[in-house]
Structure 1
Amino acid sequence: MKTKILLNGVGRIGKSILKILLQNKNFEIVAINEINPYIENIVYSINYDSTYGNISNKFKILDNNYIQNKYAKIKILNHSSLSDINLDNIDIIIDASGKKEDINLLKNLPIQAIFQTHANTNADINIILGVNEEKLDSTKHKVISTSSCNATALLPALKLINNKKKILCGDIVTIHPLLNHQRVLDGHFVGSPTRDVDCNFEFGRSSTQNIIPNKTTTIEACSYVLKEINKNLISSNSLRVPTDTVGAINVTLFVEKVCTKDEIISIFQDYENNQKFNIVLNNYEPLVSSDFKKEHKTTIIDHRYTDIRNKKMIKLLIWYDNEWGYASKVVDILDYYINIKKG
């Protein structure tokens, strides 16, 4: 029997999750809850996408707020809170809205589990595949965070290095594509409640004309999953750039044990050859960001830039598709959860 899903929010991440789930025979998307009140606009934004292309089998609107295509018939809801929704026919909620809901409200919802597509220190557990998935307990964990796109890409690499060489300190810079809360042209400051941003002057500047520096919560998100990887160990900042998707992380690590470039490459190559999930991809080709668009693997180590200095300083460049790639990991975690629940 298929697991019945309510998808809460069909923004950039929600739409990617929707399209990936439509190809997964284990799940049925019963309903979408979206604060956008215009069903015509919802179905239009699902059918047509400037980043990943238009879907071939397009959804059409039916009576009573349903949309349907060859693969699915989905009810469209328009509620501001999950507590207002009748969940009798729902097993699991995927919350891709980014909204910071009251944790007690979420825990009391009459469903098996809710998966949140943002890091949440109040969740029962934050999960990143390749790091701590073995700690997921379907009998204890109801509110499950699938962390952030940046942390999902970065932390498997940090865990590998830390286990082999022990990280003493380091620094990361995320080079992140522009996002919907930024301005196309210069305007007033930007606030984003879903991202805990009250007032950001830089995001009020044109996202298409500038590289915009900013803080990042990547390391904080990592610490929710693996507490020893935290902001006391690794400093961080971010650069927003005028591209649509695929980010990169420039990593500098100082380690306790001596190492060589060949040894570090071998560590990642061995992991890729034996990995349980689609996480690590080792790249040696002269590729650019768009070449990794729609890549499911999310820790892509570009070994053209792997380097060692003084035997204890490691340099890495990590690519990741921050929308489709991250969404694929959300679905992978959901699959993993269902499998352990079945025993």
Structure 2
Amino acid sequence: MKIISDLWYDKSIEIVLFKNPLIDRNVSDIIQLHEYAGEFVQKPISIFDSVEILRAINDLKLPPAKLDIGKLTYEYHSDDNNFNNVKAFVIDKLKSATEYKAIKPKDVVLYGFGRIGRLLARELMSKTGKGTQMRLRAIVVRGTLNTEILEKRACLLRTDSVHGNFTGTVTVNAVDNTLLINGTTVQIISANTPEEIDYTEYEISNALVIDNTGAFRDQNQLSRHLKAKGVSKVLLTASGKGVPNIVHGVNHFDYDPDTTHIFSAASCTTNAITPILKVIEDSVGIKKGHLETIHAYTNDQNLVDNMHPKYRRGRAANLNMVITETGAGQAVAKALPGLKGKLTSNAIRVPVPNGSLAILNLDIKNKTSLEGINTIIKKYALEGDLVEQIKYSLSKELVSTDIIGSVAPAVYDSEATIVSDNGKNLILYIWYDNEFGYSQQVIRLAKYIAKVRRYTYY
């Protein structure tokens, strides 16, 4: 625990165990994560081995990085490991880190401060480290700013009914309209339109604006952010029209941040299902399918029965299951063009505040089995381009509250998978934290756009 803390706060090196964060975890958490890791790879993952690998990492001169000691431990005990010395093994595995170029920090502005905006603020501030990646410089809101309003916004950042208390400090400076978050000053700006803001007045330049208001969704509307002084890139936290819709890990490399200025991070549901659909399409092929998402209620719905622009959403969200539409099935095709026209989709909003479930009913091209499809998805969750996106669950007791706080946008329920007798139809259950898990995907994409991705070893 001490080495993990020292690596993070002194060297900006984040340690994870098969994608699970280890910073600020207690003893029980770490023991349980090692037990999960051992069951996941079907080999013992010893805490003593983890400590030896951490000591070796701590002795090396490395750039800011994110390192998975679970993968390192697994590989150290693999049959093709020719090293008897832990330090020599770690040096060999991380040798490419010496070629990693220094990162130029990126100024970030959050345009909007709702559910996703506050989670992004928490993540940006808790992962600031030495400020070598993204620096939250400002938050844009609408309406009057005064001591009472600022304190209310600060309180919403400090406490959250779903995600708990923020493990940091937040204080208000009403004179300068700023929040002091973990000792870092963040400017609060009131504006009615994006183009009226001059960010350079606050010494913000070449900034990435993350728009989480949902008010601007197409190319023309989002371009308004680029008219503001001090802005170079825009990222929408919803599906966009006429702009690249990106599911990080699946299609982010298709767009060059040097030439593309506006991005969409798609929707939470799209980020949950697309990585799994890519695995299925690449491995056994998809003929057609249907997506049904059992989704937590959102702020768009009414707390009590009242008028609403859309049918059914006007009924009380905390009392009803509400059938509504979702564009996730069509949105998948923007990231995976080969699936265009192959998926239908619908949604049911249910009375839980967070934690959703996507059910994929797929007709596939090549025959498989329950063991076969689980083995395929486990492999993708363990190695390759989708390790951040897919978490493989072994639990027989998994329910929606269990996935709150998951850093992966897709939690694959291996115990719930159904394969037809002829091996040509799959029913897959994909859990997702539609707030926190999605926010992690937004952060990953933001780092790619800002070109501040650290050296990683997964």
TM-score (norm 2): 0.69
Would you tell me which structure has more strand in proportion to its own residues? 1
TM-score (norm 1): 0.91
Conserved 8 A contact 1:219-1:229: no
Q: Which amino acid aligns with 1:92?
A: L
Q: Which amino acid aligns with 2:140?
A: N
Runs of at least 5 residues in structure 2 that lack an aligned partner in the other structure: 1-103
Q: Distance in 2 between matches of 1:68 and 1:41?
A: 14
2:273 corresponds in structure 1 to 154
Partner SS, residue 322 of structure 1: coil
Instruction: Count the aligned residue pairs.
Output: 332
The 3 A distance-change label for structure 1 pair 180 and 342 is: closer
1:223 corresponds in structure 2 to 333
Structure 1 residue 262: Cα displacement: 1.2
* 1:87 lines up with 2:190 in the alignment: no
Partner SS, residue 269 of structure 1: helix
Structure 1 residue 272: Cα displacement: 1.0
1:194 corresponds in structure 2 to none
Structure 1 residue 341: Cα displacement: 8.9
Would you tell me which structure has more helix in proportion to its own residues? 2
* 1:313-324 equivalent positions in 2, closer than 5 A: 313-324=425-436
Q: Which amino acid aligns with 2:106?
A: T
2:312 corresponds in structure 1 to 202
* 1:208-287 equivalent positions in 2, closer than 5 A: 208-230=318-340, 232-276=341-385, 277-285=387-395, 286-287=397-398
Partner SS, residue 330 of structure 1: helix
2:450 corresponds in structure 1 to 338
Moved more, 7-16 or 110-119: 110-119
The 3 A distance-change label for structure 1 pair 280 and 207 is: same
Partner SS, residue 344 of structure 2: strand
Conserved 8 A contact 1:119-1:126: yes
Partner SS, residue 139 of structure 1: coil
Q: Pick from 248, 251, 261: which aligns with 1:132?
A: 251
The 3 A distance-change label for structure 1 pair 278 and 36 is: farther
1:30-76 superposed Cα distances (whole Å, 9 cap, x missing partner): 11001253323222211221111122434221112111132421111
1:193 corresponds in structure 2 to none
Q: Pick from 373, 397, 419: which aligns with 1:308?
A: 419
Partner SS, residue 266 of structure 1: helix
2:105 corresponds in structure 1 to 2
Q: Distance in 1 between matches of 2:134 and 2:339?
A: 34
Moved more, 97-106 or 270-279: 97-106
Moved more, 221-230 or 140-149: 221-230
The 3 A distance-change label for structure 1 pair 106 and 70 is: closer
Partner SS, residue 109 of structure 2: strand
Q: Which amino acid aligns with 2:137?
A: V
1:97 corresponds in structure 2 to 213
Q: Which amino acid aligns with 2:127?
A: N
1:112-136 superposed Cα distances (whole Å, 9 cap, x missing partner): 211110111211x221122112213
1:281-310 superposed Cα distances (whole Å, 9 cap, x missing partner): 111211111011111011111011112112
Partner SS, residue 138 of structure 1: coil
Conserved 8 A contact 2:110-2:212: yes
1:47 corresponds in structure 2 to 158
Structure 1 residue 339: Cα displacement: 3.4
Q: Which amino acid aligns with 1:211?
A: M
Q: Which amino acid aligns with 1:304?
A: E
* 1:54-203 equivalent positions in 2, closer than 5 A: 54-62=165-173, 63-88=175-200, 89-90=204-205, 91-100=207-216, 102-109=221-228, 110-123=230-243, 125-187=244-306, 189-190=307-308, 199-203=309-313
1:34 corresponds in structure 2 to 141
Conserved 8 A contact 1:253-1:315: yes
Structure 1 residue 331: Cα displacement: 0.6
Q: Distance in 2 between matches of 1:206 and 1:341?
A: 43
Higher CA-based Rg: 2
Q: Which amino acid aligns with 2:414?
A: H
Q: Which amino acid aligns with 2:241?
A: T
Q: Which amino acid aligns with 1:128?
A: V
Partner SS, residue 253 of structure 1: strand
Q: Distance in 2 between matches of 1:160 and 1:103?
A: 32
Structure 1 residue 108: Cα displacement: 4.2
The 3 A distance-change label for structure 1 pair 340 and 229 is: farther
1:89-130 superposed Cα distances (whole Å, 9 cap, x missing partner): 13211111111262442454452211110111211x221122
1:325 corresponds in structure 2 to 437
- Structure scoring higher RCO (CA < 8 A, sep ≥ 6) equals 1
Partner SS, residue 231 of structure 2: coil
Q: Distance in 2 between matches of 1:67 and 1:275?
A: 40
Structure 1 residue 224: Cα displacement: 2.3
Q: Distance in 1 between matches of 2:127 and 2:254?
A: 24
Structure 1 residue 340: Cα displacement: 7.2
Partner SS, residue 202 of structure 1: coil
Conserved 8 A contact 1:248-1:317: yes
Q: Distance in 1 between matches of 2:225 and 2:329?
A: 25
Q: Which amino acid aligns with 1:256?
A: K
Conserved 8 A contact 2:291-2:361: yes
Conserved 8 A contact 1:167-1:254: yes
